[in-house]
């Protein structure tokens, strides 16, 4: 059976979690400070710590911590890496303290973690009641660690969304200028082509060529309109809405397209979902973009599922709108790029690479998120998360 010291484990795990330099238990006995269990206390640090403890002002400061039973900190250059020492009183009315050396001041969360650790160090390895207290404290430490990890993940996701939003803003500004420059000559081409067609006899050999010019010019104008929609800062008109009603409206609009594409639609609308504050037209555009994206991934037909539900992310409630297809899927190497403006795998079939960028911009503007799961030849799952009011 492996024998271990629970105090040393607590010092080690808490120190690693809070990025401390070192930690040590000290006790005031017979008018002298005695060093007990420690973590990362080298001989040099131990010598410097003893000098620190024997200094009258420091000893008086530590005595104040014991008397008021509250944690304190002060500057103390014990070595080159640690500039501050924290003192945490242990449980009860004993004369033991937990000293922690840090490179920079501890955050409030880190201080709370050390307070929890200090409350059980004296009881570690004691009676059954003390052991229960230790297990409870360890459980609290684990909960705090999980909360910190969740905050880190949330911060990274927020940073990623911020970078993506900055990209969209920069490209949108450029796209607006290009679109305006292209729109005027395209309007002229379309107008004069239509006039020419009206003046030509129906059996003219030039008619087919002019009709081709007109079709391509109109296609170019459609791309320009998408560019303007992508770049334009439109006012968002938010109102409380039933997400299931929005889904029903979009299904009615796309029903014929789904039938002609040989795609079977399945609806899974959650019951009694809370209403969400959104711009109805923009959310419809998001859903239409995602449906079109799924149809392109299923050129031979397939299954498309739409689902609405309520979920939690990072401790906050969200309304989830999920679009799931069983199409070609997305290659792992391009999964991180699908929301970039003008990035498309359908350039040869008229794809502009703006649909998902517009979708991302709308959801970000609503304070939401988009999650994507996909594997090649196994389909894709897009989940739109819209924040719910508390």
**Residue range 209-219, pLDDT digits in tens:** 888 888 888 87
Measured CA to CA, the distance from residue 14 to residue 19 in angstroms comes to: 8
Nearest to 330 by CA among 310, 356, 308, 305: 356
More confident residue, 35 or 133: 35
Confidence of residue 3 (pLDDT cuts 50, 70, 90): very low
Q: Which neighbouring-strand residues pair with 74?
A: 85
Stretch 106-133: mean pLDDT: 71
Look at residue 127 and tell me whether its pLDDT is greater than 60: no
DSSP state of 107: P
In percent, the amount of the chain with pLDDT more than 90 equals 25
In percent, the amount of the chain with pLDDT more than 70 equals 80
Residue 123 has φ and ψ, to the nearest 5°, of -95, -5
At 242 the pLDDT is 94
Look at residue 288 and tell me whether its pLDDT is greater than 60: yes
Give yes or no for a contact between 116 and 277, defined as CB atoms under 8 angstroms apart: no
Q: What is the CA radius of gyration of the chain?
A: 32
| 129, 125, 20, 61 alpha-carbon torsion, rounded to 10° | 80
Residues near 230 by Cβ (< 8 Å), separated by ≥ 6?
Answer: 172, 175, 341, 354, 357, 358, 361
Measured CA to CA, the distance from residue 230 to residue 339 in angstroms comes to: 12
Measured CA to CA, the distance from residue 310 to residue 322 in angstroms comes to: 11
Look at residue 51 and tell me whether its pLDDT is greater than 60: yes
Give yes or no for a contact between 374 and 330, defined as CB atoms under 8 angstroms apart: yes
Per-residue HEC secondary structure of 117-152 comes to HHHHHCCCCCCHHHHHHHHHHHHHHHHHHHHHHHHH
Look at residue 168 and tell me whether its pLDDT is greater than 90: no
DSSP state of 336: G
pLDDT in tens, 187-208: 888 888 888 888 888 788 788 8
| Angular region, 256: left φ>0, alpha ψ -120 to 50, beta rest | alpha
pTM metric for this prediction: 0.45
Note the helical H segments in the chain.
6-18, 43-54, 56-68, 108-121, 128-199, 207-231, 243-260, 280-296, 355-365
Residue 95, Cβ density class (10 Å: 0-12 exposed, 13-18 middle, ≥19 buried): middle
Measured CA to CA, the distance from residue 163 to residue 360 in angstroms comes to: 12
Confidence of residue 237 (pLDDT cuts 50, 70, 90): confident
Measured CA to CA, the distance from residue 86 to residue 76 in angstroms comes to: 10
pLDDT in tens, 297-333: 898 999 999 999 999 987 889 999 999 999 988 888 8
What is the chain's mean pLDDT, rounded? 82
| 172, 176, 182, 184 alpha-carbon torsion, rounded to 10° | 160
């Amino acid at each position: 059976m492996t024998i271990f010291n629970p105090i040393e484990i607590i010092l080690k795990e808490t120190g690693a979690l809070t990025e401390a330099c070192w930690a040590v238990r000290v006790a005031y006995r017979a008018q002298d400070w005695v060093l007990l269990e420690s973590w990362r206390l080298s001989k040099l640090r131990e010598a410097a710590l003893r000098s620190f403890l024997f200094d009258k002002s420091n000893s008086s400061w530590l005595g104040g911590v014991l008397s008021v039973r509250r944690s304190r900190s002060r500057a103390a250059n014990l070595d080159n890496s640690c500039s501050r020492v924290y003192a945490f009183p242990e449980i009860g009315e004993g004369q033991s303290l937990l000293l922690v050396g840090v490179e920079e001041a501890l955050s409030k969360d880190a201080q709370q973690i050390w307070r929890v650790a200090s409350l059980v160090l004296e009881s570690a390895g004691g009676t059954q009641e003390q052991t229960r207290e230790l297990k409870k404290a360890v459980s609290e430490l684990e909960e705090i660690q999980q909360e910190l990890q969740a905050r880190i993940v949330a911060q990274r996701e927020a940073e990623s969304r911020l970078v993506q939003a900055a990209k969209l803003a920069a490209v949108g500004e450029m796209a607006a200028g290009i679109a305006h420059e292209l729109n005027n000559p395209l309007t002229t081409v379309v107008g004069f082509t239509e006039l020419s067609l009206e003046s030509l006899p129906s059996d003219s050999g030039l008619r087919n060529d002019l009709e081709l010019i007109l079709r391509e010019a109109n296609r170019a104008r459609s791309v320009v309109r998408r560019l303007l929609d992508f770049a334009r800062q439109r006012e968002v008109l938010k109102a409380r809405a039933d997400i299931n009603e929005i889904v029903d409206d979009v299904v009615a609009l796309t029903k014929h397209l789904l039938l002609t594409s040989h795609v079977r639609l399945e609806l899974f609308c959650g019951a009694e979902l809370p209403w969400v504050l959104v711009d109805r037209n923009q959310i419809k555009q998001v859903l239409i973009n995602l449906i079109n994206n799924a149809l392109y991934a299923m050129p031979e037909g397939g299954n498309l599922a739409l689902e609405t539900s309520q979920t939690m992310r990072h401790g906050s409630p969200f309304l989830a709108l999920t679009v799931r297809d069983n199409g070609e899927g997305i290659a792992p190497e391009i999964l991180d790029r699908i929301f970039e403006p003008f990035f498309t795998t359908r350039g040869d079939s008229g794809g502009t690479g703006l649909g998902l960028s517009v979708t991302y911009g709308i959801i970000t503007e609503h304070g939401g998120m988009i999650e994507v799961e996909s594997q090649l030849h196994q389909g894709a799952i897009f989940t739109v998360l819209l924040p719910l009011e508390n």
